[in-house]
Amino acid sequence: MTETRRIQLHLGKCIEDLDKLYNVPDLKSKRATLLCKTAQKLFESAEEARAKGDEEYSYVYYMKYLRVIAFISKDKEYLKDKNYFNNMLGPKNPNKAIDAAEKLKISLIERYAKEQKAKRLMDIQENELIKQKIDENRKKAMDTIAAEPPPPTGLPGPDEVTIKSDQLYTILKNGKLKVMILDARPGKDYINSHINHPACISVPEECISPGQSANVLEQNLPSASRPVWAERASSELIVMLDWSSTTVIPGKPLHLLKTILLKWDIKVQYSRQPVALWGGYEDWLLKYPAFTTNPQAIPPSQDIMLDDMLGEIDYPNWSDLNPTPAVSRPISSEPVIDRASKSAAVELYAERSRNMQHILEQQELIADTSLTLEMQRIEAEQDWEKIRQQGETEHRDELRAMYQLREQEIISQLMQLENKQFDMEQENQSLREKLEDYQRREREEAAKLAESIARSHLAPSADNEATAREREAAARDVEAKRARIAAVTAQRVSLDRQREALETERKRKLAEAREKQKPNYKEEDTESYGSSTESANAALNRSQSSPNIAKVSSDEEEPVVPSFDRSTKPAKVAPSSELRQRDFEPVWADVGRGLTGLKNLGNTCYMNSIIQCLNNTAILVTYFCNGQYLEHVNRSHSTRGAIAEELAAVVRGLWSGQYRFIATKDLRNEVGKHQRTFRGSEQQDSHEFLTILMDWLHLDLQFSIKPPLKENLGASERAWHEYTKSKESLVLRLFYGQIKSTVRCCVCATHSATYDSFSNLSLELPPHASRCTLSDCLKLYLNGETIPGWNCPNCKDKRDAVKKLDISRLPPVLVIHFKRFYLDPKEYCNAFRKRQTYIDFPLENLDMRQFSLNCPGNPVYNLYAVSNHYGSMEGGHYTAYCKSSVYGKWYKYDDHLVTEISPSEVKSSAAYILFYTSCER
């Protein structure tokens, strides 16, 4: 097809938009004959669209066709008479569809990229034309009113680039103009002190860089600054300031900020160009200290301020100057020596040396551990390659199932090893910074010690010689450790290269295997269609780092469980509910209570992780295992109590202690009936699943309570009972809390409070931070933010207001979610990225009193479960770390594998959802 025959793109803006369109509904109820006809129509539609030049529709139809073909190849009717159905489908059509889909995807990706680039160029050109017209109109208007004197508004003239503090103060006090103040000092200086004006926001110096667009800058701003920044187009005057500048110097933050606003703020036009505050915040602080948040502001370091001033000065060479005459000393037979200062200096140096030794030992340990992890990754990838090849060549179902299970284990292990290595590198970076600090101090103290000894004019004494020997020995030890670290690091780099070579070779073999595994209808391979389709998908969408677990297995490829001779085993019954029999496909083993794993049914690790966390919530387990929940099952809700019943059956199976792992097909099918998102075999978000599951369980297990007298209740309690409507549940009482949102007018201080319930707290992470604490995230969540244009009921007008969140009701089980996934503004196709921030959270004694409003109950929590996410958006894996209420130990639940872990392993950069309890366990 030539370029000229292709019609314009119209279905989406990127290839991900098309990937959402080729999902097919559940086909289990359809006969193979009807599916073959459907597949043939889809193929014909794809060919027709391709002939017309509509690449998008052609790609979608081809992918739908391949999905239907993959399903047909697993159908029982197809397996009975392959030749008949192959003739219906056309023997060459699947291969043709795979090749066509790949070519179309490559073509579409290129076309989308060109279109996005062209669109950006058009936007820039359009913006330039708009600015040009505005400049022309402005010149005409200036020519018209040139003879008329300007009105006394106090505003700087159109050609002025600065405004003085007294002018700005007059404008702010007058209050008739909408003024925005952009404080371009470092973020910490703004927090310490800034102009007391509602529209004064921090645009941190560290966030401003050359070539940046206004959109990218907005994403880097503090969350409190973004609402005000969004109103910049309607501002009548924009004032920029730093600490002390009197002009806008090219290359400096104020000039860069002004360039971003005037040239790279697409489709936002300003009534006048931004001006700089003459003399900066220093001049304002001197003249109007009462109009600041902190009059006792600390000036920036003089070293930083003098860098530019002293950069061109040539300093004299000290060797060229005459030495200062020595201070005369009293003549005596022995020189006067301050031995106290010398011994203190020696002791301080020894302490510095010990600290350096400790850091180097830690670095050596991290280097050894990192090397071990790298070797384990290479071994795991080699095992994975071997298992994959054996699984592909094995025709017996029971061995294929075993190989697939082992493959899932190795892929999970690879992702976790990669995450541990990332955490080690972060810790090593922190130690490296500490070491540099100690080395700097060591040099300073050594210089002072040498100067002290030089002044003494003494010959080297015995203690001096001993000290020198000790220092030499310590230096040799430090150098030996550094050499050891360097050797281990070099070995790890070599292993990195080896692993990359293995990965390249493995990809080459996969490509060759894919060519060999295209559908061949003459062979008696039951996976002929399915394997080709999966290979096509693998070629079309592949994870960039670890093996893409999203492509490992699917619901249609469920392996058959091997059959065993159970005549030698005691009779056992699979877990079931009182209402109906369930097939949990149990694998028998004598394990501890609550230490049973969950089989991965095709990317259901997100579900398994949440179920295991809930399965270690002691009160909930007792409620399900003793049958008390049956008294509260609510049949009037849309799920008719089925979600609660299926989860209860799973919990009883997990706590029977007689299964190594079980499958949750019934629970998964029931969840899929009521939420389309969880029907397929694609990876989903565990936080989304948890939030929906909590709501379902609450509605499934509701019971009525006697409504209290509203006149006897406070505002928080009244809002709580209005939310529950006298319908409560154990899930509500355990997991649900309440947030108070207070909006306060910045002019008259009138405030309005509302209350909302939550089943988990979803916390933002501090931007641009590689490490933070749970306390940092909670403070960021509860900090006040400015809301412009709030309708004040007292002022009867739109006012700037401050919104503040507080926890007004703490639940017994506190669930905390970290927002690790974010929309990357640098990507054209709304791509999501993951933050690998390491968050330090306490395992015990999390005190929530500082974050709540005198809530009743116990505000001190202990951690008992963590849902972890490894990998990225393209390919990820979930596990759970849970502390057993029976054994008091931590265990890792990795789908069907359950192993004991050390408490020191619980904290990692993979932590995604935390489960805390204030109840006795």
Tens-digit pLDDT profile for residues 665-678: 999 999 999 998 89
pLDDT at 461: 53
Q: What is the mean pLDDT of residues 467-477?
A: 68
Residue that is written with structure tokens 């992780």 in the block? 609
**Entry field: residues in the chain:** 921
428's CB contacts (< 8 A; 6+ apart) are 363, 366, 367, 370
Task: Using the predicted structure, report yes or no on whether residue 764 has a pLDDT greater than 90.
Answer: yes
Token pair listed for 777: 């995230």
Q: Which of 14, 200, 207, 605 is catalytic?
A: 605
Cα 343 from chain centroid? 51
| Tokens found for residue 54 | 């509509």
- Residue 560 has what pLDDT? 38
605 is catalytic: yes
Q: Could you say which of 687, 877, 882, 896 is catalytic?
A: 877
Q: pLDDT tens across 714-759, in order?
A: 889 999 999 998 899 999 999 999 999 999 999 998 899 999 999 9
C-alpha to C-alpha distance for 652 and 719, rounded to whole angstroms:
36
Determine the longest span between alpha carbons in the chain, in angstroms: 118
Known active-site residue 772 = no
Sheet order of strands, 587-588 included = 587-588, 659-662, 597-598
Residue 644: pLDDT band by 50, 70, 90 thresholds?
Answer: very high
Of 21-25, 250-254, 284-288, 836-840, the poorest mean pLDDT is in: 21-25
Burial of 306 (0-12, 13-18, 19+ CB in 10 A): exposed
Average model confidence (pLDDT) across the chain: 77
Q: Is 330 helix (H, G, I), strand (E, B) or coil?
A: coil
- Beta strand segments in 169-279, E: 179-183, 200-202, 237-241, 275-277
Cα angle 695, 701, 707 (rounded to 5 degrees) comes to: 95
| Distance between CA atoms of residues 466 and 454, nearest Å | 17
The 10s digit of each residue's pLDDT in 369-393 is 666 666 666 666 666 666 666 655 5
Query: What 3-state DSSP class applies to 739?
Result: strand
Q: What is the distance between the alpha carbons of residues 142 and 131, in angstroms, rounded to a whole number?
A: 16
Which pair of tokens denotes residue 314?
């040539």
Q: Are 166 and 287 in contact (CB under 8 A)?
A: yes
Q: What percent of the chain has pLDDT over 90?
A: 29
Residue 918 exposure: Cα atoms within 13 Å on the Cβ side? 20
pLDDT value at 273 more than 90: no
β-partners of residue 595 are none
Task: For residue 523, give the 3-state DSSP assignment.
Answer: coil
| Amino acid 843: pLDDT | 96
Residues in Cβ contact with 16 at an 8 Å cutoff, skipping those fewer than 6 apart = 829, 830, 831
Closest to 637 in 3D by CA, of 706, 719, 727: 727
Q: Is 512 helix (H, G, I), strand (E, B) or coil?
A: helix
Question: Comparing C-alpha atoms, which of 671, 766, 778 is closest to residue 204?
Answer: 766
Distances from the Cα of 272 to the Cα of 164, 228, 242, 247, 265, angstroms = 17, 18, 20, 18, 14
